[in-house]
Structure 1
Amino acid sequence: MPLAAAALRLIARLGLEPHPEGGFYRETYRSEERIQRGIPPVERAAATAIYYLLADDAYSAWHRIQSDELWHFHAGDSLNVHVLEADGTVRTHRLGHTAHDAMTVYQAVVPAGRWFAAERVPGEHGYALVGCTVAPGFEFSEFELADGGALLAKYSAHGDLIQRLLPKPSVP
């Protein structure tokens, strides 16, 4: 299915590239300040930021990172960010234009180490553009896509949601 024209314009204008979890992204900021993290200590940027775009039926597959991630709504349709909480529940943050939809927020936090996924709420635009700020800064070495079987076994009460947003198989 071809992407919406507005999504294609944003991908080109913002210089977005495909992201391994789904959708498109571009890093826009990497702090020059460095911090030490973990044992043994590893040096990381203090913070990073990206643009992230989901268009049409694309979604951000279940994944986790080892830093807090703050999501910011920018434009387009609303976006649901589903977080699997430590107690086994699911918390869904709906990012969107709060002035037009009282059920949305402009920002939401996904705590470090939590499994999460995101999907666009169908709407008139055909895309959702958000920003994500990660502190300490994002590193792909700390990015983990979910193993579907393990996630379904641990969070079986949410099987339909988990199944719908599992990582797509890699094409060899």
Structure 2
Amino acid sequence: MHRTRIDSRELIARLKLEPHPEGGFFRETYRASGNVTRENESELRAASTAIYFLLCDGAHSAWHRIRSDEIWHFHAGDSIDVHVLDANGALVTHRLGNALDHADTVFQAVVKAGDWFAAECHDKDGAALVGCTVAPGFEFSEFELAAPGALEARYPQHRELIERLGPKS
């Protein structure tokens, strides 16, 4: 099996990645010039946006949610687990990776608008480069990082995972 090893420092420099508030590193690579509005709203949004997102050095993407659907795309490195909690408390974990080499992985996964989600490298010492496409486009004004204790109280059956992937203090 072939796996692309990631030199995190070199990739951060080459792709001009910056620290992301949820953890990891990112850079927006696309923002549609066309705009859309959500049903029953008047505020214009870019139709779509895309980023590179790198997890490395034991970092994780802390629990958060946005108001748009987000598609995660695997690019290189180790497998990454995207954990999703829906409004009813159901937990689904999507394992992104090279699906040609690993039957338990997928190249793409969708997180629906409003669902809470967090991500981590399947191997805690791993590094993974993924892409995230959001439609309507991502705006930080619609990004909500989970408040400490809030998700644990709402979904006590997932307490251990929620606490492990909470925001860094």
Q: Structure 2-normalised TM-score?
A: 0.93
Shift of 1:38: 5.4
Q: Distance in 2 between matches of 1:26 and 1:119?
A: 18
Aligned to 2:12: 11
Aligned to 1:35: 36
Preserved contact between residue 58 and residue 124 of structure 2 (Cα < 8 Å):
no
Shift of 1:17: 0.2
Aligned to 2:168: 168
Q: Secondary structure at the match of 1:37?
A: coil
Q: Structure 1-normalised TM-score?
A: 0.92
Q: Secondary structure at the match of 1:42?
A: coil
Give unmatched runs, 5+ long, in structure 2.
none
Q: Secondary structure at the match of 2:99?
A: coil
Structure 1, residues 41-90: CA drift from partner, whole Å, max 9, x if none? 11100000000000021000000000000000000000000000222121
Preserved contact between residue 60 and residue 118 of structure 1 (Cα < 8 Å):
yes
Q: Distance in 2 between matches of 1:36 and 1:67?
A: 12
Q: Secondary structure at the match of 2:100?
A: coil
Structure 1, residues 121-157: CA drift from partner, whole Å, max 9, x if none? 1178x31000000000000000000012111110100
Q: Distance in 1 between matches of 2:121 and 2:8?
A: 13
Preserved contact between residue 28 and residue 50 of structure 1 (Cα < 8 Å):
yes
Shift of 1:37: 2.4
**Equivalent pairs, count:** 165
Preserved contact between residue 68 and residue 135 of structure 2 (Cα < 8 Å):
yes
More off after superposition, 73-82 vs 29-38: 29-38
Identity over aligned residues, as a percent? 64
Aligned to 2:107: 106
Aligned to 2:66: 65
Aligned to 1:85: 86
CA RMSD across the alignment = 1.5
**Segments of 4+ in structure 1 off by > 3 A?**
none
Preserved contact between residue 6 and residue 77 of structure 2 (Cα < 8 Å):
no
